[in-house]
Structure 1
């Protein structure tokens, strides 16, 4: 058994680097060396991994088990290290690691490793970059747990979306098409009526689990929320929310972060962000999110996913956020960073094919279902442009459908230049989608010229939608004053709407403060915000500075 060709190709990009003697010396300072024997399991798939391993001598195989068969994904020799992103985030291992040739390994605890990522930036960057690449490879190879269910089941689509948004390695077996899936269900004693099911390494079966149950099974970030009053509660884990978490926790505030679906927010669904300061070659939304999560966790922020907020209220100088499970989290300061989501396309067939070719994100998880097929992208902003270029890497034709007559209206110039030069991206201005057609998945898109009303049918195996945005404020409708579009006014914009609230405090609301003292809004959810990752990050950092000012009014910070 040998390593896959994908693994060998990935070496070029840094997924399997060899550490230098100096880097190993740094790791020795906080680790321990121990001998290993042939056949010894250093990591078992489906179980949490508590140590980071560097191979000093001998060899270790990373394997995927399929019942009686074993597939070697990568063979590690001296100076290489094991693991992937799940190790840093407390998730259960996706693959097993078995000693092939006796030797020695250096074991470093995961907590010490997280400290090293910040304390030794050069070494940390090598490890984190490799881990992100390995997670991407695992996703592309369909490694990980299995979701077995019908394409027409809403619960199947829910599980697939949750796994994709959380960047979890998985593969889907469609009951209507996959004969092996039916055989596996029979072997596991599962009836079709009990689907969808999640199968973890052929032995653990979850029958139509909720998102919370799936998260608990795989060890996703589901730390229980605190019952005490925390200094800073961040609702929403996009760039703005994660920035608030990093700055809040690093400044000693007890910090809790909640998100209903996944960390990364809308930015996490982007294939590449190329205009973010400090990343001249660009960075994927996934990598940016994962780096921020590791950073926030290292400083002590507690991140809980999934945890959906359903309401907000104030009492005795504190703010309470209610969750869907009936629990509450109480904080002296709350940062609302629930962002905005792309609107649904109002055309026949769109709702029917959501998850079956109609997508609101363009990452590796969505793209793998339509490789080598023509696709369509709807939208004229940066997200649509980034998606079109990403999909054009493998698609023979990407139709970029823009309602207006000018890409420059809402798209950055650097993207426009690249799109105009790309031979496989076909821009159609003044074009709107009128229908999505197909039998069991998207097969074509009917579009119309909004000037001439002439229609045409475009062959497309997928439709990616990036139009407009609706703010994530439905849970706040009875608690905060919103603007006519549903976004949250802040600072001076709040005064005419909530003047009576501020008179007893003898002050005006702070720059990012909402209609309630100590409740701040950042990022896309804020009225008048600049829809850019950099601005959201800046507002998240700024909100923490303002939170300190509010803490001076309500009392000293909590002790962690």
Structure 2
């Protein structure tokens, strides 16, 4: 039982984008009560504790509830407020404890009842979702949730930090090299420094250097599909295109399975701000867009399984079978390949020495926090590099943008070029390349060379961000799927002459590969437009084509 603090603390609310969380009126409370139960709550009752899964949802009718993290009050809620955050909708353990500080009355809904309300009542559902998104952002911002204890120089520590960040899991680093409380914390959990990194999960104890898959399982992010089931549609890859296919497919009543090797969001999920996506005039961060899309997939009953990488593809008895590195297989009538691309690495000596600590392939608030207000260098001349430069320049003292070519306008949108070139903290180095990394255990600088006059210069940076193009994630497709010379998946008219189609009685649909019922969307597709909007459009379009394929097969 956590220590109850004085109940005469002022009721505090964290502001959302409108200034404050909405206080429910009596009619709205009655609406919630139609889905749940009213009941009295005595002082000191624990409504839910840190680590609880699928705990209930509470609306406070009267009384006061305090929210505690590690025994300290971080929020106080009064009448008309509701409790919880995003994890309640996504099946994750609670990161906080809620205790009744003043007796009163609550409306209590189970997780299933809350999901039913979200599906059926768009007004209250939107209110809960908006508040939960903001609360998750607040929790992440203050470093709540998981504690990852380890050295900032450790590759495994960085791996765990990146996994938590990419999956938008609240967390903070307790650095054994710099945090004075790290040793006491390790002593309390019975772990030595040599056994780090460890992850402290509320309710699940201490995980000693867990794999990404183990951590995903503990957090409810990795759920193996039941063996033997035949899916209507398997979506491999959960970037914007893949998530769109899941949402539209599930909404149409298809039996959908969705899997990603790392995290929902794809490359877009590593982008600090997307400013040219329709409907978001102020822009939206990649992680926020991914989180909203994941909530939509959950709304239609399709969780995205992460930390399961596709390793094989085969055809069997008129269906397709995809094998994953966790030894599971999924049999499916149709397949959408949405595995996207991965950023290319620089061909530099000693890159591996720093890649686990100071070289990054994403630029979000988590990477910015790790830079610790030090100058950084960014390699690349496309939109990803430009977005990273603008984002980081507001958080670090200096950004050096290293561009091999001589014209930013060639690969970067005009609005980004204007923002990059006008920002006082961004230095653009055209016709330059990084040729050497400096430092021992930590990056202390990079050497850049002018590729016209070969002059060299040392940039005193502490982090290097790399956005130099990408390679498609298609190795798992073996030889059964036709690829172009660069490894991207061929679709539509590019495979119309393939022998596979001779006996099918139709030509391939747009987005369809040389295998009937196997489609490719987004960045992995040959000739695709590398934009979030086009990927989402292809994700919506491909579901219609899946229906056409399934209908055609039923008439044969």
Q: CA deviation at 1:292?
A: 1.1
Partner of 2:460: 459
Partner of 1:521: 520
Partner of 1:187: 188
Distance across 2 between alignment mates of 1:359 and 1:469: 14
Partner of 1:31: 36
Distance 1:24 1:109, change over 3 A: same
Which of 27, 43, 47 is the equivalent residue of 2:52? 47
What CA deviation, in whole Å up to 9, does each residue of 1:442-491 have, x standing for no partner? 33222222222112122222222111011111111333121111110001
Distance 1:246 1:330, change over 3 A: same
Distance across 1 between alignment mates of 2:321 and 2:93: 32
Partner of 2:345: 344
Distance 1:396 1:116, change over 3 A: farther
Question: Does structure 1 conserve the Cα–Cα contact (< 8 Å) formed by 2:7 and 2:102?
Answer: no
Q: CA deviation at 1:529?
A: 0.3
**Which 4+ residue blocks in structure 1 deviate beyond 4 angstroms?**
1-5, 7-15
Distance 1:414 1:199, change over 3 A: same
Partner of 1:297: 298
Partner of 2:420: 419
Describe how 1:202-281 pairs up with structure 2 within 5 A: 204-222=205-223, 224-281=225-282
Of stretches 471-480 and 16-25 in structure 1, the one that deviates more from structure 2 is 16-25
Question: Does structure 1 conserve the Cα–Cα contact (< 8 Å) formed by 2:84 and 2:132?
Answer: yes
Question: Does structure 2 conserve the Cα–Cα contact (< 8 Å) formed by 1:311 and 1:479?
Answer: no
Partner of 2:538: 539
- Tell me how many residue pairs correspond in the alignment: 549
Distance across 1 between alignment mates of 2:15 and 2:394: 17
Of stretches 485-494 and 453-462 in structure 1, the one that deviates more from structure 2 is 453-462
Of stretches 487-496 and 144-153 in structure 1, the one that deviates more from structure 2 is 144-153
Partner of 1:157: 158
Q: CA deviation at 1:124?
A: 3.3
Distance across 2 between alignment mates of 1:510 and 1:432: 43
What CA deviation, in whole Å up to 9, does each residue of 1:5-61 have, x standing for no partner? 9x8674565574433445434323323222222221112111213322222222211
What CA deviation, in whole Å up to 9, does each residue of 1:316-367 have, x standing for no partner? 2100000112221000000000001111122234322224221111111111
Matched, 1:19 2:20: no
Partner of 2:369: 368
Distance across 1 between alignment mates of 2:512 and 2:389: 37
Q: CA deviation at 1:272?
A: 1.3
**RMSD (Å) for aligned C-alpha atoms:** 2.4
Q: CA deviation at 1:256?
A: 0.4
TM-score, normalised to structure 1, is 0.92
Distance across 1 between alignment mates of 2:364 and 2:430: 24
TM-score, normalised to structure 2, is 0.92
Question: Does structure 2 conserve the Cα–Cα contact (< 8 Å) formed by 1:61 and 1:75?
Answer: yes
Question: Does structure 2 conserve the Cα–Cα contact (< 8 Å) formed by 1:59 and 1:76?
Answer: yes
Distance across 2 between alignment mates of 1:216 and 1:487: 31
Question: Does structure 1 conserve the Cα–Cα contact (< 8 Å) formed by 2:235 and 2:337?
Answer: yes
Of stretches 116-125 and 545-554 in structure 1, the one that deviates more from structure 2 is 116-125
**Which blocks of at least 5 consecutive residues in structure 1 are unaligned?**
none
Question: Does structure 2 conserve the Cα–Cα contact (< 8 Å) formed by 1:17 and 1:80?
Answer: yes
Describe how 1:94-105 pairs up with structure 2 within 5 A: 94-105=95-106
Distance across 2 between alignment mates of 1:427 and 1:167: 31
Question: Does structure 2 conserve the Cα–Cα contact (< 8 Å) formed by 1:238 and 1:263?
Answer: yes
Distance across 1 between alignment mates of 2:397 and 2:18: 24
Partner of 2:511: 512
Q: CA deviation at 1:119?
A: 4.1
Distance across 1 between alignment mates of 2:281 and 2:152: 40
Distance across 1 between alignment mates of 2:7 and 2:368: 28
**Which blocks of at least 5 consecutive residues in structure 2 are unaligned?**
1-5
Partner of 1:481: 482
Of stretches 199-208 and 524-533 in structure 1, the one that deviates more from structure 2 is 199-208
Distance across 2 between alignment mates of 1:505 and 1:290: 40
Of stretches 48-57 and 513-522 in structure 1, the one that deviates more from structure 2 is 48-57
Partner of 2:283: 282
Q: CA deviation at 1:193?
A: 4.2
Question: Does structure 2 conserve the Cα–Cα contact (< 8 Å) formed by 1:48 and 1:219?
Answer: no
Question: Does structure 1 conserve the Cα–Cα contact (< 8 Å) formed by 2:50 and 2:203?
Answer: no
